[in-house]
Structure 1
C-alpha cells in the first residue's frame, strides 16, 4: 500500500511542472533566403506570453543559441532562436564564421529583412503575445538586435550581450521604440573604447532609454561556456573567453529588465 501511495504522489508531483517543447520551423526571408528557426516554449503555461527573439553569435545558429531559447522558455517566455545565415548554417571555424557574417551584413536591408522575418515568425506562434516582444543577441547577434532597435522595430526591449556597437544606421531622435540593455565585457578587445563612447553619444543624442553595463574582467564571448575552447582551438580562434560571473550577472540583469518592460 505504501508503495502505491508513493507512486501516486510521485506522479502527482510531476503535474504542473515545466515541460519545455521545442521544434524547428522553416521560414523564408524577404530576400528569398531559406531559414530555419528553433522555437521553444513551456507548454505547462496557459495562454499567450511575451515573445523573445534570440540572435546567434557569428558562429551561426548553433547549440548555444538554441540553449538560450530553451532557457528563456523556462522563464516563461515564447522564444525563437532565429537564423541569420540561412539553412541553419553554423561552424566552429572563425574564417567560415566571418564569411557567413560578412554575407549577412553586406547591406543593412538584407540583415533587417532576415531579422524581421524571424520576428514575424515568432509573432505568429499561438503561445506568443504579439504586443509584448523583445530581442536578445550575442556578439554578431548583439549588433543585429541593436540595429533592429535603431530602425524602429516594434520591440519593448532589446538586450545585447558582448555585441558589436558600431553601425551604419545610427539612431535618431524618436527612431528607437525599445528600451535597451547593453551587457559589455570590460576586456572586450573587439569593441574599442572609442566605439563604446560613440555608442553612448549616439544613444544620448537620440534620447534612447538605455542602460550600459561594463562587466569587470570579462572578454568578448563571456556568456558562452564554449568560448575558451573556440578561442584556443587548432584553428587559432578569436580573442574570446567565458566568464561565469559575468554570464550569470548579465543574465540576472536581463531577467530584471524583462520584468520591468513586460510587467
Structure 2
C-alpha cells in the first residue's frame, strides 16, 4: 500500500497506524449481552427539502443502542442512492453509528446508464452553492435526530460522493472527519476554507478515472489551508474498488471499474480506525 502523508506531524503517525487492531464504537459502547445478540439495524425513509426540491434519504440505526451516538452522512456514487449506498449505511449502523444516506439528485432519482449518471452528477457539481445547500439540509436532518450527538459527526462518500464530501471539507463543514473512497479530486468550491477535522482520501493506484495531478492539487490545497489530510493509494486497485457490483457494471458499459476485496476491507478499516480516533471522547452522550 502506498501512502502520501501531508500536513501536520500527527498525520504521519495516523497513517502508519491505520491497520492496527481497533474496535468499532458499538463494541465499546454497548453492553455485552447486546454485543452477543448482535445489533438490530432498522432503516427509515426520510424526505427533506433543499433548494425548493424534495429529496428522499435513508436513516439507518441500531434500535438497541442507547444514548446519543456519532452521526455519519453518507453520499452515494454517481448512480444515486441505490442498494449499494443503503448497504453501506446499514453496515455502519450495525457498528453503532446513526447514518443518513443522502439523495443528491432529488426525488430519489437513480441512474442505470453511465450517460444519465454523468449528467446527474455533473449538474450537481457544476453548481456547488446549490450542492452545498443540499448536503447542509441533510446534515441538519441528521443532527436533529434524538439519537445523534451533533458534536460528533463525519461524512463519507463513494466516487461522485467522495468528491462531494471532499468539497464539504473545503467549505469548512462542521465535521470531525471526511473520508473519500475512490472520489473525484475536483475542487468545486470557489473560496476554499480551512477544515478543523481530519481528511482521508482513499484511492486505487490503478484508477484511470482519477488523475494523479488532481490528487496532488487537492492535497496542495488542503496543505495551504492548514488542513490535516492524508492520501492512501492501494496498489492494483481500480476505480470503484469498494463496490462488488463494479465488475459487472464495468463489463456491461465498458468502463474501467473493478472490485478489489483486499482494498475494500483495508479502506473500511482505515475509516473505522479514524472514527475511533476522532470520536473517542466522550463515548456517548446521555439523552435528555
1:121 equivalent in structure 2: 141
* Contact 2:238-2:258 at 8 Å conserved across structures: yes
1:99 equivalent in structure 2: 119
1:25-174 matches, within 5 Å, as: 25-29=46-50, 31-169=51-189, 172=192
* Contact 1:92-1:230 at 8 Å conserved across structures: no
2:278 equivalent in structure 1: 261
1:199 aligns with 2:218: yes
In the TM superposition, residue 33 of structure 1 has moved relative to its aligned partner by 1.6
Query: Which structure 1 residue ranges, 4+ long, deviate > 3 Å from structure 2?
Result: 12-17
Cα root mean square deviation, aligned: 1.7
Which sections of structure 2, spanning at least 5 residues, go unmatched?
1-32, 281-288
In the TM superposition, residue 16 of structure 1 has moved relative to its aligned partner by 5.4
* Contact 2:46-2:59 at 8 Å conserved across structures: yes
Task: Measure the CA separation in 2 of the matches of 1:22 and 1:56.
Answer: 16
Q: How many residues align?
A: 248
The 1:91/1:47 distance shift into structure 2, 3 A limit, reads same
In the TM superposition, residue 171 of structure 1 has moved relative to its aligned partner by 7.0
2:267 equivalent in structure 1: 250
The 1:205/1:15 distance shift into structure 2, 3 A limit, reads closer
1:241 to 241, 258, 261: 258
In the TM superposition, residue 238 of structure 1 has moved relative to its aligned partner by 2.4
Task: Measure the CA separation in 2 of the matches of 1:226 and 1:14.
Answer: 30
The 1:114/1:244 distance shift into structure 2, 3 A limit, reads same
Is the partner of 1:232 in helix, strand or coil?
A: helix
1:227 aligns with 2:246: yes
Per-residue CA deviation, residues 215-252 of structure 1 (Å, 9 max, x unaligned), is: 1111110000001111111xx24221110000000000
* Contact 1:17-1:44 at 8 Å conserved across structures: no
Larger RCO (CA within 8 A; separation ≥ 6) = 2
The 1:123/1:237 distance shift into structure 2, 3 A limit, reads farther
Which sections of structure 1, spanning at least 5 residues, go unmatched?
1-11
TM-score, L = length of structure 2: 0.83
Task: Measure the CA separation in 1 of the matches of 2:175 and 2:219.
Answer: 20
